[in-house]
Amino acid sequence: MITWQEFEKVDIRCGTILSAVDNTKARNPAYTLKIDFGEELGIKTSSAQIADLYTKEELVGKRIIGVVNFEPKYIAGVKSEVLVCGFYTPDRKVSVVECIKGDVQNGAKLG
């Protein structure tokens, strides 16, 4: 178990995917994403292993949830600044968590 104060340290925000391109250096199928997290955080980059369930074209414009306060990590040559949140399917593919209802702005914090 964790405390509420520990949970509050994780900064989870809503953002809109602006672009998705193949991360050709990744060992597993992955995309390099540019995600708009609003005025406060701006545009962040992520390398996400979500190519099994999504095409690049269908990702653009998708409103996703991401953890934005991890230290940046280099993944297959990409400076990944955001962990795109998702759930694993039984065959280990990632289904992305989305912001789909209401007037949720880019950068809105989960709370």
What is the DSSP code string of 30-73? Answer: -EEEEEE-HHHH-EEEEEE--TTT--HHHHTT-EEEEE--SPPE
- State residue 101's pLDDT score: 85
**Which mean pLDDT values do the consecutive 10-residue runs of the chain (111 residues) have?**
94 98 93 97 97 97 97 95 97 94 92 78
- State residue 48's pLDDT score: 96
Query: pTM for the full model?
Result: 0.94
CATH superfamily of the 4-96 domain: Nucleic acid-binding proteins (2.40.50.140)
**Total Cβ atoms within 10 A of residue 58:** 11
- State residue 102's pLDDT score: 83
